[in-house]
Amino acid sequence: MESQIELRDLKDFFRRRKKSLYFSFITVILFSGMIAFILPSIYLSESTILVEGQQIPREFVKSTITNYIGERLKIISQKVLSRSNLMDIIKNFNLYSNLKDKYTTEQILKKMKKDIKLETIDAPIRDKRTGRRSSATIAFKLSFQGSDPAVVQKITNVLASLYIQEDIKNREKLALVTTDFLEKELKELEKQILFLENKISQFKKEHIGVLPGSTNVNMQAISRLERDIDRINTDLRNQKERKNFLKGQIASVEPLLPVMTDEGKMATNPKTRLKRLRLKLLTLQSTLTPNHPDVKKLKKVIKELEVQVGTTDDSVAKIKKLKDLKGELAVLSGKLGQKHPDTIRLTREIETLSAEVDKLFTQKRLTDISEDKPDNPTYIYLMTQITSTDIAIKSLMIEKSRIQNKLKDYQRKIENAPIVEREYNDLTRDYETAKGKYKDINNKLMEARIARGMEVSQRGERFTIIEPAYLPQKPYKPNRMAIMLLGFVLAAAVSLGFAATREALDHTVRTADHLNKITGLPVFSVIPLMETDSEKRIRITKRVSFILILIVILATALVLVDRLVMPLDILWLNIYRRLL
């Protein structure tokens, strides 16, 4: 019973508020339809660009472009959508002419960037090296939206061309930059290698015989020099022994021959006779006074001989005579004693002769005179042998000193070898490193030049238009059907809400039960509404007018859908397919 009452109340509610329902519903429908058909049509043209892989196998030619396609698209987008490019497109196609008076240039450029869309198309791939699955961009869609379909198509094609041209330009530029960089690095390495070569050459000149690998040669040289020193030491020892032997022999040989006396053989040479007479004079002077007739006579003879022969050097004869007398004195002193007359006479003679010799020479020169002017052939021969031995010893000492200096030089080279080897290894290591870098850079430069040729001939990775921009046949937006459906739902909700609000605010008593609840008094009878004929005609007329208005609105909506959205037969087919 309660459900029947509620259903009846609901019917009464729709009956009472049908005008509000109709008015609000129609108003919202009309407003949404106005919005749907007043909004300008926006057309979208789209172009699909394929990212073609490198035509030459990567095993043969490695590209110098290493960044991913996503990064490249972002870089290209920044260049293509630059202010200058967009302003040229706006100027060439007279875009946004209705906005130039209302908005600034920056706002118009911002709107154009929003109208341009780029969407990448990814595909799952498997990495050949790791075997992992990932996604890679194989193509991308470039679109532009606007009010004129023909202009939209042209601008989309222009944008696609700009993307392709910018990609080609960027790839060629990157390849050129890589080649230029490698060429510059190669030149720097050439300078470095030349510098190191000169440095190593100079180092070798300054350290000849100390370089690594010379140790064995130096050791052999040291061994050879040590053998030479041993040989020289042996020769020196032999020469010194020979000299000692000769000195032993010469010690027993007088440098001067004995002077002939009166008892000996008469010298035929006046000089010899003069020497003998001078010695005889010394003997007489030792025993006789200077005024003695014998002394005077002998002096006269000596004077005549001096006039005949000239001055002679009898110092040697005096020295010989002095040595002989000293020898005789030593013998007589041993036999006869110091006080014997012969010993005393001989002592006086020696003193006289010594005084004569002292006048001419000092004691130090006695031996030198006898040795400087020897006349004994045996003594002269031995002195010659000693002199030659001294010369040989001196020559050997000079040779030994020279070899010792060379030996010290080689030993110093061996001692300095570790330090020199370390410096040399540092130089050669730097040199080998520079050569390795040079070889590596040279190989990379050759690869970069080949890669550059590949990019210039457009055989590397490139963009290719597989779907050029098409001429849009229908607007991309607004979606008028969706707006109408949304308007219908909104109209139903608004009309119900509006009617329910009016019902809640209306306190009119409409039924006997309602009156009974308000007053608490019983209702005895209810008088029904009495409608006249004129009132009936007016009510019918209103209903017919309302129905006609709905038909007109519906017909108008269908015409607009057919003209602006799509033909009604196609719309019906789409609806039919979805229902099936």
Q: What is the pLDDT of residues 270-312, one digit of tens each?
A: 556 666 777 677 677 667 777 777 777 777 777 776 666 555 5
* SS3 state at 473: coil
pLDDT of residue 579: 54
pLDDT of residue 147: 84
Q: What is the DSSP letter of 477?
A: B
State whether the Cα torsion 547-552-555-560 is positive or negative.
negative
pLDDT of residue 572: 73
Residue 225 in tokens: 């020099």
pLDDT of residue 476: 78
Omega of the bond leading into 478 within 30 degrees of 0 (cis): yes
For the chain, report the end-to-end CA distance as a whole number of angstroms.
Answer: 41
Which of 485, 463, 571, 504 shows the shortest CA–CA distance to 170?
Answer: 463
Q: What contacts 218, CB < 8 A, 6 or more positions away?
A: 209, 410, 413, 414, 417
Q: What is the pLDDT of residues 45-66, one digit of tens each?
A: 999 988 887 766 666 666 666 6
- Per-residue b or e along 130-157, where b marks 16 or more CB atoms closer than 10 Å to that residue's CB: eeeeeeeeebbebbbbbeebebbbbbbb
Q: Do the strands 133-146 and 43-52 form a parallel or antiparallel pair, or are they unpaired?
A: antiparallel
451 burial type by CB count under 10 A (0-12 exposed, 13-18 middle, 19+ buried): buried
Which of 249, 382, 373, 250 shows the shortest CA–CA distance to 318?
Answer: 373
pLDDT of residue 61: 65
Instruction: Judge contact between 180 and 64, C-beta under 8 A.
Output: no
Instruction: Judge contact between 93 and 155, C-beta under 8 A.
Output: yes
Q: What angle do CA 54, 59, 62 make, to 5 degrees?
A: 60
pLDDT of residue 509: 67
Positions in the chain short of pLDDT 50: 1-5, 261-262, 266-269, 361-370
Which of 26, 39, 33, 45 shows the shortest CA–CA distance to 561?
Answer: 33
pLDDT of residue 240: 87
> Look-up: residue for tokens 């789209």?
46
